[in-house]
Copies of this chain bind each other. A is one copy, B any other.
C-alpha cells in the first residue's frame, strides 16, 4: 500500500491529497513499464496509444527529416512526461520516434484512461492543466530562442533546462536539439570553458 501511494504522489503533486479509493482508481489506470537502454518505444507512423511519465531514466523524441537528418525535439528525465503529443492528443499517427537513452522506468497511460481520471477526480485535471501550460511555455520559449538567440545562448539555456543531462546523452543528441553541428557544439563548450577559467 505504501508503495502504491508513492506512485500516485510521484505523478501528481504531493500537495494533493487523495482518498484510498482515488489512489486505487488512479493506480489501475497506470501501467509500470521497464525498457532497456537503446529501446525505441515509439516509431514514426505508428498509432500513439500512450503518454509516459518518467520515474527513472532519460529519453528523447526525435524527428527524422526527409533528408535523413535527425532533429531532437524533447528530452525527458525524472518527473517529466513524454509522448508524440500530436498523435496522443489528436488521435493521429506519430511523426516522432521515442528512444530510451538510458534504462527507463515509466508509467504509461492511455488518453481515455487519463480522461476518466479527470472526470472522476477533478483536482487532477486542474493539476495537469497547469503542467500543460508550463509545457506549452517551455516549448514556445525554445522555439523563440531558436529564432532570436545565438547557439551559445541556446546551449546555456539547455544546460539550465536539463541540469545534469549531459552525462547521459551523446553530443549528437544535444547538437540535434540545438540545431547545430557537433563541431559547433565542441567550439561553444571550449569558448565557455575558456571564459569561465
Contact = CB atoms under 8 A, between A and B. Distances in A.
Instruction: Determine how many copies of this chain the complex contains.
Output: 2
B137 A140 contact: no
A157 interface: no
A92 to B, nearest CB: 9
Nearest to A128: B129
Interface string A112-148: 0000001000100110110011111101110110011
A144 B90 contact: no
Contacts of A137: 85-86, 89-90
Contact of A148 (B63, B135, B143, B144): B63
A95 interface: yes
Nearest to A118: B126
A65 interface: yes
A101 to B, nearest CB: 20
A128 B148 CA distance: 30
A26 interface: no
A134 B136 CA distance: 11
A85 B128 contact: no
Contact of A89 (B71, B89, B125, B133): B133
Contacts of A148: 63, 65-66, 71, 95
A104 interface: no
Contacts of A89: 133-134, 136-137
